[in-house]
Amino acid sequence: MSDSPAARLQKLFEGHRLTPTQRRIAHCMVRGAADVPFLSSVELAELAGVSQPSVTRFAVALGFDGYPALRKYLREVAPAAERPEVGEDAEYNAYQQAVHAEIDNLRHLAAMLADPRPVEEAGRLLAGSVPLPVLGLRAASSQARGFAYFAGKVHPDVRLLDESGSMLADRIDAAVAAGASALLCFALPRHPREVLEALEYARSAGLTVVTVADSAFAPVAGHSDLLIPAPVGTGLAFDTACAPMLLGRVLLEAMADALPDAQARLEAFDTKAAARSLFVD
């Protein structure tokens, strides 16, 4: 499977030390990967909410003479079939376009998973942490809750952290005192400041932070030991997170594979559920 435009951009950015402003530009480019090769520096600056000189400095930081050279490179590596044509989405309404954008996000996730090593490493880290704290605030709380619900079927001690406030550090301390070695974080736009503070505190307490975020250049990147990106959809009034949700299920699978008694726990749950007539199907 060939790399998606977003995957190619992420490979281009890897290994470069970028400033926060440059990471913002990179994040913007990944989210609009199909259109970026056809934007001027002024248009990209407006899209990212930065100045035009910042876009020029960003291109130079990547090793190009300037933004025109970067754009020329991006056009050369973008297959002609992926280049936007005027009116090519005219047959789709706004709702359909949002769905197609999510399909593209899932294709990007599938391409990234061609190298399973980051997910497998994350699975080992999560399986080895007892208890396992799972953090997700605001927009990411549903992702964290869904993961924690299913993880509790195979992991001996999962602790959901989905409420912000002064108690959050206390709950991280309690998890560390009980033997936790890793924390899983779901981080989605808009990124709450409290998530950054919680991750910084967790790492200072000795936890290894595994993060699912919308981009490798998200604000949480500098506070994570292992970050696995999954893009969100931005075509509707509120972001859609199909790819992060699916990545969460993939991490569940990797964690279960690393837990020697996962199958036994599942079978025990099914037996008890049947005895209690828990489900109607």
Q: What is the pLDDT of residues 166-217, one digit of tens each?
A: 899 999 999 999 999 999 999 998 899 999 999 999 999 999 999 999 988 8
Of 178-182, 232-236, 263-267, the range with the lowest mean pLDDT is: 232-236
Do 251 and 193 share a domain, yes or no?
Answer: yes
Q: Is residue 93 part of a domain?
A: no
**151 and 207, same domain (yes or no):** yes
- 54 and 132 inside one domain: no
Stretch 134-147: mean pLDDT: 96
> 84: Cβ–Cβ under 8 A, 6 or more apart, which residues?
34, 35, 38
Same domain for 46 and 185, yes or no, is no
Mean pLDDT for all residues in the chain = 88
Contact 224/199 with Cβ under 8 angstroms?
Answer: yes
With respect to residue 13, please indicate whether it lies within any of the assigned structural domains.
yes
Residues 243 and 130 in one domain: yes
What domain count does the chain have?
2
Element (H, E) at 160: strand 158-161
In-domain check, residue 103: no
Asked if 46 and 123 sit in the same domain, the reply is no
One-letter amino acid of 68:
P
Quote the domain boundaries for residue 259. Answer: 117-273
Q: Is residue 102 part of a domain?
A: no
Residues 186 and 230 grouped into a single domain: yes
Residue 106 inside a domain? The answer is: no
Q: Do 50 and 174 belong to one domain?
A: no
DSSP H or E run through 36: none
Same domain, 130 and 237: yes
Same domain, 75 and 136: no
CA pair distance 91, 86, nearest whole angstrom: 12
